[in-house]
Structure 1
Amino acid sequence: MSSDSSLSEQVKTNLSHYNLWTDVQEHPIKDLSLKILSGIPPSKLDSNDIENQREWIIPKPMSHKANLTLKEINSWFVSISDLVESNNSRPKRVTIGLVNDDGTVVYYFIHDGVVKPRQN
């Protein structure tokens, strides 16, 4: 099993069994040598989200030596818009799933563009 397969399986298992997401799927992206995951969380991740909205997750190792570039992040949004055949539009955000050496997975939103901060 390649490290990318192992990484995506770890995040997929975490989403399905720990976070109780449904319909978690892997989408191999040949141009990026990357697997993008998608699934439906049990509840909205943000108050502005639509209920039962498909979310997109990018598995990455936390120990990854290279920094993320805007070009790489943009390629994720382009690849996802190519996967969504119905309207071919970019998602407003993706979630990066950072996997630590001990198996811990931490999730962060990465928005497509500038997002106005919300008040708590």
Structure 2
Amino acid sequence: MPSTTLPFTSTPMDQVRLNLIHYNLWNNVTAHAHGPHAYLSGHPREKLVSTDPDEIRKEWIVPRLLKDEKLSVQEINEWFETIEKDEGARPARLIIGIINDDGTVVYYFIHDGIVKPRQN
């Protein structure tokens, strides 16, 4: 029986990829490796934020270990530029998947620029 996923390794990319596929039930999760700017793309099963458009759109996820060095604005901008170069359009946001020492993955949005706060 053929496998629908790539072989598992313990890299941050694979840990976040498997978490998205098996725990969060995302579809079409794909790894993109471009030197130091490796990232994932995929489609969530449902809208991530209530203010998102009705159609499910492609999201970009950058895996990081909690113990990695601090992020810089320059590094975050390089992620946006790499995705823009690969996809043909600069995303409005990306998601950082932070992996704790115990294997827990927590996701945060990083927006490209200033975003108006949502109203409750």
TM-score (norm 1): 0.87
Give the 5 Å matches for 1:63-74. 63-64=67-68, 66-74=69-77
Aligned residues between the structures: 111
Shift of 1:48: 3.0
Which of 37, 48, 60 is matched with 1:56 structurally? Answer: 60
Residue 73 (structure 1) shift: 0.2
Give structure 1 stretches of 5+ with no counterpart: none
5+ residue gaps, structure 2 = 1-8
Following the alignment from structure 1 to structure 2, what is the Cα–Cα distance between the partners of residues 5 and 83? 25
Q: Which residue of 2 aligns with 1:36?
A: 39
Q: Which residue of 2 aligns with 1:18?
A: 23
Match in the other structure for 2:91:
91
Identity rate, percent: 51
Q: Which amino acid aligns with 2:85?
A: D
Instruction: Summarize deviations over 1:51-110 as a string: whole Å, max 9, x none.
Output: 22000000000111x2111100000000001111xxx22100000000001000000000
Higher helix share: 1
Query: Which 4+ stretches in 1 moved above 3 angstroms?
Result: none
* Displacement after TM superposition at 1:5 (Å): 6.6
Distance change >3 Å, CA 5–CA 25, structure 1 → 2 = farther
The CA RMSD measured in Å over matched residues stands at: 1.5
